[in-house]
Amino acid sequence: MTQTTAAQDVVLRLTGITKRFGKLTANDDIGFALARGEVLALLGENGAGKTTLMNILFGHYTADAGTVEIFGETLPPGAPGAALKAGVGMVHQHFTLAENLSVTENIVLGTQSLWRAGLGRAAARDRIAALSRDFGLAVDPDARVRSLSVGERQRVEILKALYRDARILILDEPTAVLTPQEADALFDTLRRATAQGLSVIFISHKLHEVMAISQRVIVLRHGRVAGEVATADTDRHKLAEMMVGAEVALPHPGLGTPGEVLMELRGVSLPAQGRRSGLAGIDLALRAGQITGIAGVSGNGQSALADVIGGVTAPAGGALVVAGAEVTEWSPRAALDAGVGRIPEDRHATGSIADFTLTENAVLEAYATGQFSRRGWMDWRAARAHAAAIITTYDVRCPGPEARIRLLSGGNMQKLILGRALEAAPRIILANQPVRGLDIGALTYVQERLIAARDAGAAVLLISEDLDEVLALSDVIHVMSAGRLSPAFPRGSMTPARLGAWMAGQGFTDAA
């Protein structure tokens, strides 16, 4: 859209950026311009090349071809820090704050010479206060970061960028960790900031957010610019189409037909572990033919709940009842044998072994069964056939079953993990953040598979930070907050705002 953006207004221009990793072309001749005071949304599936592009912009990677211009100056390639110096600030999904320092200290950190630390503290504090007032970023400059909520920490990250005089702000999936109310506050901040001349690149998968906040959308697909549109001229449907290259129907499943209770948690509790929230007497029943959704801001006990159901942790208190019998021995193996299929929260750290091949990963949970081994001898032919079947059935894009899974994009890795879990025909499915970081294509696919599994009679537990996802898919919804679980709300009985209130901890009767 360089034709419609007057040259003097361009603050950032990427031209012909190309980056190859071996045979894979991660970025292929990508070019676009960012104008002063605009919010430009960068949409694209995982593996579409967004992360690579940002890494090139910040000098972490050197592009094979192409240039980055900021305020008319060409950045030297592969010089980390050049973009920062030129006025680009980035807020990552995973924050980079020092927990034991105050907000002011975190913001000032790295901007002053070591020998001058302490001097100008008051001035820094005043400036931070002014910035947070101007941009609506409410945060106490003297608070320790440790005590801040996720939303507040994000504000600190944004303040950090603004304090360094960033005139271009890049936000990577900024709403993934926020409640709907916090996300609205963030959008409010962005509107104020752009009104004052800041330019924003907003990376997201959530189409309604892109529609709500951006003026222009760049869609990346397979490393190329698949389209560029003014937000006013498009809608969610068209954007989704551009992302996957075909029309997508977001799932609108009918209600399931609930059957018997397959798994029940009765007053299950677990002590908190370090920074991880525990569980405070949770009652939960998972029924056949039903998707039970767990909404909540991350870090409120969802991981602990997933660990109990997936067999990683045995409950410290209360009872876990599977198929009518209280379990005494509970381990990952026991969970698998009880028919629990697991899609773990972190596909890299727990879901797969990066240096194993797809074949080796495909049989990770079942290598010891008669299907893939006999008397301690692996049947690699059967394993390879199994992997090949998953690759075909679940549309895993990869060089082949003997490729290391490390080379796959997140979405394709997730499809393999999904295939591994579902091919074992589980009665109970634990889907913990199953579509986090996935492109629309993979996301819709995973969701449809979960719905199909429900319709085939499985009990599905869907844990997600994405409220829309929980609302769309679940037959019943619980909210988690500080290790507590809300009562079950049938689908349609709750608005996002009311669920948001539960997510913030309102409504819980107990004093836990």
Residue 261 touching another protein (CB under 8 A): no
- Return d(Cα 19, Cα 234) in angstroms, integer: 30
- Return d(Cα 205, Cα 511) in angstroms, integer: 37
Piece of 6-14, 221-229, 365-373, 475-483 that binds another protein (CB under 8 A): 365-373
Looking at the chain, the number of H-run helices and the number of E-run strands are: 16, 23
Residue 381 touching another protein (CB under 8 A): no
CA atoms within 13 Å, Cβ hemisphere of 172: 16
Q: How far is CA 460 from CA 159, 171, 351, 473, in A?
A: 41, 33, 18, 10
CA torsion through residues 89, 93, 97, 103, sign: positive
What is the phi/psi pair of residue 227, to 5°? 180, 160
Q: Which is nearer to another protein, 256 or 310 (CB)?
A: 310
Q: Select from 95, 187, 356, 508 the one that contacts another protein (CB under 8 A).
A: 356
Contact, 202 vs 174, CB < 8 A? Answer: yes
Question: Which residue matches tokens 């995982």?
Answer: 46
Q: Which is nearer to another protein, 78 or 259 (CB)?
A: 78
User: In the bound complex, what is the minimum distance in angstroms from residue 329's beta carbon to another protein?
Assistant: 13
Piece of 117-125, 320-328, 333-341, 469-477 that binds another protein (CB under 8 A): 333-341
Q: Select from 66, 77, 245, 299 the one that contacts another protein (CB under 8 A).
A: 77
Pairing of strands 279-287, 317-322: unpaired
- Return d(Cα 473, Cα 124) in angstroms, integer: 47
Q: Under rule CB under 8 A, how many of the chain's residues touch another protein? A: 40
**In terms of DSSP H, where are the helices of 86-197?**
103-108, 121-134, 150-163, 180-195
Q: How far is CA 159 from CA 36, 141, 230, in A?
A: 19, 10, 28
Contact, 41 vs 67, CB < 8 A? Answer: no
Contact, 451 vs 253, CB < 8 A? Answer: yes
Q: Which is nearer to another protein, 182 or 365 (CB)?
A: 365
Residue 333 touching another protein (CB under 8 A): yes
Encoded tokens for 287: 């029924």
User: In the bound complex, what is the minimum distance in angstroms from residue 77's beta carbon to another protein?
Assistant: 6
What does the chain come to in residues?
Answer: 512
- The mark string for 395-424 relative to another protein (x by CB under 8 A, - otherwise) is ------------x-----------------
User: In the bound complex, what is the minimum distance in angstroms from residue 349's beta carbon to another protein?
Assistant: 6
Residue 235 touching another protein (CB under 8 A): no
Residue 151 touching another protein (CB under 8 A): no
- The mark string for 2-21 relative to another protein (x by CB under 8 A, - otherwise) is -------------------x
User: In the bound complex, what is the minimum distance in angstroms from residue 498's beta carbon to another protein?
Assistant: 35
Q: Which is nearer to another protein, 21 or 71 (CB)?
A: 21
Piece of 115-123, 261-269, 351-359, 499-507 that binds another protein (CB under 8 A): 351-359
Of 109-128, which residues contact another protein (CB under 8 A)?
none
User: In the bound complex, what is the minimum distance in angstroms from residue 59's beta carbon to another protein?
Assistant: 8
Q: Which is nearer to another protein, 26 or 159 (CB)?
A: 26
Of 38-67, which residues contact another protein (CB under 8 A)?
59, 61-62
Q: Which is nearer to another protein, 241 or 365 (CB)?
A: 365
Residue 360 touching another protein (CB under 8 A): yes
- Return d(Cα 382, Cα 54) in angstroms, integer: 41
Q: Which is nearer to another protein, 229 or 334 (CB)?
A: 334
Give the residues across from 95 on adjacent strands.
none
Q: Select from 74, 147, 196, 331 the one that contacts another protein (CB under 8 A).
A: 331
- Return d(Cα 273, Cα 304) in angstroms, integer: 9
Q: Select from 7, 22, 274, 325 the one that contacts another protein (CB under 8 A).
A: 22
Piece of 34-42, 188-196, 218-226, 342-350 that binds another protein (CB under 8 A): 342-350
The b/e string for 309-343 (b: 16+ C-beta within 10 A; e otherwise) is bbbbbbbeebebbbeeeebeebeeeebbebbbbbb
What single letter denotes the amino acid at residue 38? E
Q: Which residues bind another protein (CB under 8 A)?
A: 21-24, 59, 61-62, 76-79, 310-312, 331-333, 335-336, 342, 344, 349-356, 360, 364-365, 367-368, 373, 376-378, 380, 407
